Each structure stands twice: as structure tokens, then as C-alpha cells.
Structure 1
Amino acid sequence: MADTSPRTDTSTDVDTDAHNQKYESGLRNAIVAASDSSDRSKEKTGDQKILRRLAQNREAARKSRLRKKAYVQQLESSRLKLTQLEQELQRARQQGIFISSTGDQAHSMSGNGALAFDVEYARWLEEHNKKTNELRAAVNSHASDNDLRGIVDSIMAHYDDVFRMKGVAAKADVFHILSGMWKTPAERCFLWLGGFRPSELLKLLMNHLEPLTEQQMVGICNLQENSQQAEDALSQGKEALQQSLAETLASGSFGPTGSSGDVANYMGQMAMAMGKLGTLENFLRQADNLRQQTMQQMHRILTTRQSARALLAISDYFSRLRALSSLWLARPRE
């Protein structure tokens, strides 16, 4: 028994070691398996996120393509409508809806004055664009001062034509001219008494006229200040007219009128209001005179080439406003 006891202890130790090694090996295998499973799970989750992101990108790209396609279609539709309108205006001129004489008078042969002016203004704008393109080509080709002077004088005379046209149209429908319904929406945002503010236009031109001599700078600054003062006076006069007109319409009693006295009072109010409205035409005429005189005075201050650059800048500014209106009307609406 003494001989066998040590052997038994040794066998037990060996079995225990083997068992521990087997346990540790199993534990390591379990940990490795769990780790592999976790990695695969993370990999799977990462793949799902990538797939979702790719799907979202594809959907966003698809929607972007659809919006772009709709936008292009609306632009094309707007272009077709503009072309159709131009054709209708051309047919209207050919049919004699509006006849422009060579003298100081232009009048509507049929239809109302607003339509007649819109047709004639479209013709004026088309001719103005041709003259502007001619001036731009002359400037880019470094034409002589004499050649430039002839084109510049032609454009200045063309501006005189539109002021004359507006004066004639105002006699037929002063509200149409003052409201600027013959202009595009973006142009109407900057409208002042049926046209542009001379002082604001001079501010826009300053960067395009450099370099200016000291004498020219003083002349432009004085012209801008005088224009601003005249604008303020006309604006105050128009506000006073509106206030007076509102007070005239608000005087007396409201509601149903039955007695002869009420009817007479009502007719008297309307007669006074009509008389005050008649002065609107005078405000429009004075505003256009200010615009015309400002442009002529600017032309006298500047050299021929500076005047050419100023006229091109003015034309480009209003052309961009018209283009902005077209883009705004054709914008995608989701």
C-alpha cells in the first residue's frame, strides 16, 4: 500500500491537469467562437448600414433627376409660351391693333389703351435689344468715337420714344402705366412712379464708369443728389394725393343711400375723387421727365465711350431682371 499510494497521487494530478487543460481549451474556443460571432454580427450590421446609405443615395439621386427634369420641362414650356406671345403680338401689329405714327401721336385703333401700349412696348423692347447688341459689338471691336457716337445717339433717341409712348398711354390708362403691369415681376419690385429711380440707376452705374475725372465725379454726384431731391418731392406729393383721396372717399356716410341728399353727396364725392385722380397723370409725366433729363445730363457729363458703357450696363441690368422673372415663374414647385 505504501508503494501504490504515490502512484495514485500522481495519476490524480495528471488527470486534473488534463481536465484543466481541456476546460481551458474549450473556454478559449468558446471565446474565439463568440468573438467571431460578434465580428460577423458587426460586419452584418455595418453592411446593412452601407446598403441603407446606398439606397438612400440612389433615392436622393432619383428625386434630384426628377426635379431637374421637371425644371427643364418648365423652362421649355415657358420658352414656348414666350414664343407664342411674341407671335401673337406680331400678328396683332400686322392686323392693325396698334398703329404707331411717325409724328408725336400714337393711338389705339381698336382695343383698349393698355393692350395697345403693351404691344408697342414689346416692339420697342425688341428694337432696343437690336440697338444694344450693335453697340456691344462696336465697343468690343474698338470702333472709333464717331461710330460709337452715332449708335449712342440712336439709343438715346430710342429712350425718348418710350417716354413719349408712356405719355400717350397714360392719357388712356394711367393706372396701367403706374402699376408697371407692362413690366416683368422682378422689374415691378423696383418700380417707382411707373419706371426706374434715376438716383438708384446712377448708383448702379458708378462702378461701370470708372475711371472718372474729378470734374466728372462732381457732376455725377450733383446729378444724383438733385435726382434724389426731385424723387423725394414727387413721392411726397403722391403720398399727399393718396391721403387726400382717401379722406374724400371716407367723408360722408357709408351704407345704403336712399334720400336724394345722400345721392347728391355721393356723386359730389365721386366727382372730387375723379378730379384728384386726374393729377396722377401729372405725377407720371414729371417722373418720366426726371428720368429723361437725368439720362441726358449723364450723357453730357460722360465721354462717348463712357456713355456707351453706361448704356450697356443699364440694358444688362434690366435684361437680368427680366431673366430673373422668367426663372422665378418657371421654378419647380414641390
Structure 2
Amino acid sequence: MAEASPRTETSTDDTDENLMLEPGNAALAVVSDSSDRSRDKNGDQKTMRRLAQNREAARKSRLRKKAYVQQLENSRLKLTQLEQELQRARQQGIFISSSADQSHSMSGNGALAFDTEYARWLEEHNRQVNELRAAVNAHAGDTELRSVVEKIMSHYDDIFKQKGNAAKADVFHVLSGMWKTPAERCFLWLGGFRPSELLKLLSTQLEPLTEQQLSGICNLQQSSQQAEDALSQGMEALQQSLAETLAGSIGSSGSGSTGNVANYMGQMAMAMGKLGTLENFLRQADNLRQQTLQQMQRILTTRQSARALLVISDYSSRLRALSSLWLARPKE
């Protein structure tokens, strides 16, 4: 009996060791540790994926920005190149603008000649506007301002004359405004700006105006609007008449008989005659624009007239800039 006690203790210790070293318990410990490492690994992988996605999005954003800047720079270079080509063409005498050869030049390629003349006109107009802006900023006297204002007004008269000559060669080109930028064409009315819309713009930009000036601007705007409506209605009537003339013999033109051919030629001659009135509409619209500018100058003071011309020029410049930005935008 005295020897039994030690063996019992030894047996208990062996049992504990066997339990600890049992394969099932060891496997559970290994699986638990592996699961913890797996969760940590999955979390790290998700973090890495998010970081990689963020880096990729940032890289694409930088590339889009770089491409946009590059497109703007390319547009600027193309514009500079075009201006240089036009300048070289003028120096080489490709586009003849003398009064003796003007009719021949316009009839040969009226659209191209007018586009070139307009580019030249716009270049000089911008130079005059910069001169006027400098005079206004320097608080020049009325005498100096009046001289520059009159110069710009006379320059506007020149473009109206050029448009009249160009219309004789290609009235469709002038009316459609293909010589202007897309944004400018969006607001085009009969080959130019709407006088009433121009007056609305000025009435909000030239404050303060006296009661007499406000009344004068309002009356001028109303009369301009009435004239615009009359010309627009005339154009609609002309288009309707042309459509009816051109469609008159379509149903019977397929037989090819001599009578039908004669009828076709007669109706086309009638349509050509009606198209001649397009020049008249364009001339009347330009006369309205010219008279509106002149009446505006009479209503305003010299300094207000100078500011009005700057507003008109800045508005046109922004439209041209808008066209360049729109064409150079990223295409995604």
C-alpha cells in the first residue's frame, strides 16, 4: 500500500501530458492560429487593393488633366499657325483687296476672300480696342476718347461694307456665319448680332444712366425689336415660298419629257430670282445693326460710349474663347 501512492501520481501526470500531446488538440491550435493569420492576410489584401485602386484613379486623373492641357496648347499653336499663314498670304499678295481687282477676287473665291478680310478686320479691331482700353484705364480726357471711339465706329462701317460685297459673291456663306466661331454662330441672326439683344446687354453694364438715357435706350430697343421681327417674318415667308416653288413639279419630273424639263428649268429660274432677295435681307439687317450702334453713340456720353464698345468687344471675345475651349475639351 505504501508503494501505490507514487504510481498514482505518476499516472496522473502522464495522463495530462497525453492530453496535451493528443493529435486532435494540437490540430485545433494550429487551425486557430492559421485562421487568425488568414484574416490578417485578407485584410491586408483588401487594403492593398484599395490603395492600388486609389493610385490608379489618381494616375488616370493626372493623365486626363495632362491631355486636356495638351489639347489647349495644341489649339493655341494651331491658331497661331493659322494667323501666321494668313499674314504670309497677305504679304505675298495672294488675296487682292484693291478696288480694281476686288470684284474678280470675290467672284473667284468669295468665301475665302471674305474670311481673310474679316480676319484682317478683326486683328485691327482688337488693336483699336486695346488702345481704347488703355485710354479708359488712364482716365484720358473726352477729346482723346472721342477720337478712338470714332475710329472704332468707322471700323465697324468697314465690315458692313465688306459683308455687302461678300454677299454678292456668296450670300449663303455670309448669312450662315461660317466666317465666325461656332459659339458666335449659335447667337447669329441674319449674318450678325441682334441689335435688341446688344442693347439689353449694355443697359445692364453701363449703369448708372440718367432717366433720359434709359428712356432713349428703351425706345431704341423696342424699335430694333420691331424691325428684327419684320425681317424675320420676311425671311420665313421667303423660305416658305422657295419651298413651294422647288416642290411644285417634283411629282411629275420623273417622266423625263421635254415639257417636264422645261417646267423644271422654269421653276428653278423662279427660285433663283427669289434667292436674289436674300442679299436685300442681309443688307437691311446690317443697316439695322449699323444704325443701332450710331443711335447708341448719340444717347450715351463719350465715356459711356467707350465703355459700351469695350463691353461689346469683351462679349465677342468670350464667345470666341468659349468655342476654343469647347473644341479642346476632353472627349471621354
What's the offset of the Cα at 1:272? 0.5
- Quickly say closer, same or farther: Cα 1:35–1:89, change in 2 above 3 A: same
* Matched letter for residue 155 of structure 2: H
What's the offset of the Cα at 1:80? 2.1
* Matched letter for residue 81 of structure 1: K
Q: Percent identity?
A: 80
- Quickly say closer, same or farther: Cα 1:168–1:59, change in 2 above 3 A: same
| Cα distance in 1, alignment partners of residues 46 and 136 from structure 2 | 60
Structure 2 residue aligned with 1:118: 115
- Quickly say closer, same or farther: Cα 1:78–1:190, change in 2 above 3 A: same
| Cα distance in 2, alignment partners of residues 137 and 99 from structure 1 | 33
The answer on whether the counterparts of 1:98 and 1:108 sit within 8 Å (CA) in structure 2 is: no
In the alignment, structure 1 residue 222 sits paired with structure 2 residue 219: yes
- Quickly say closer, same or farther: Cα 1:255–1:36, change in 2 above 3 A: farther
- Quickly say closer, same or farther: Cα 1:151–1:257, change in 2 above 3 A: farther
Structure 1 residue aligned with 2:26: none
Q: Deviations over 1:256-309 (max 9, x none)?
A: 342221111111101100000000000000000011111111111111111111
Structure 2 residue aligned with 1:152: 149
In the alignment, structure 1 residue 327 sits paired with structure 2 residue 308: no
- Quickly say closer, same or farther: Cα 1:46–1:92, change in 2 above 3 A: same
| Cα distance in 2, alignment partners of residues 183 and 218 from structure 1 | 33
- 2:96 is aligned, of 95, 99, 107, to 99
| Cα distance in 2, alignment partners of residues 209 and 242 from structure 1 | 39
- Structure 1: which 5+ runs fail to align? 1-14, 23-31
TM-score normalized by structure 1? 0.85
- 1:183 is aligned, of 161, 164, 180, to 180
In the alignment, structure 1 residue 74 sits paired with structure 2 residue 71: yes
SS across alignment from 2:96: strand
The answer on whether the counterparts of 1:98 and 1:107 sit within 8 Å (CA) in structure 2 is: no
- 1:201 is aligned, of 190, 194, 198, to 198
- Quickly say closer, same or farther: Cα 1:206–1:50, change in 2 above 3 A: farther
- Structure 2: which 5+ runs fail to align? 1-11, 20-28
Structure 1 residue aligned with 2:58: 61
TM-score normalized by structure 2? 0.86
The count of corresponding residues between Structure 1 and Structure 2 is 323
* Matched letter for residue 297 of structure 1: Q
| Cα distance in 2, alignment partners of residues 98 and 50 from structure 1 | 67
What's the offset of the Cα at 1:60? 1.1
The answer on whether the counterparts of 2:252 and 2:260 sit within 8 Å (CA) in structure 1 is: no
| Cα distance in 2, alignment partners of residues 309 and 40 from structure 1 | 76
What's the offset of the Cα at 1:92? 2.3
- Quickly say closer, same or farther: Cα 1:41–1:277, change in 2 above 3 A: same
Q: Deviations over 1:172-229 (max 9, x none)?
A: 1100000101001111111100001111111122221000000101111111111111
* Matched letter for residue 90 of structure 2: R
What's the offset of the Cα at 1:98? 2.7
What's the offset of the Cα at 1:81? 1.7
In the alignment, structure 1 residue 297 sits paired with structure 2 residue 288: no
Within 5 Å, which residues of 2 pair with 1:1-334?
A: 44-101=41-98, 106-109=102-105, 111-252=108-249, 253-334=251-332
* Matched letter for residue 234 of structure 1: L
SS across alignment from 2:230: helix
| Cα distance in 1, alignment partners of residues 170 and 262 from structure 2 | 27
What's the offset of the Cα at 1:40? 6.5
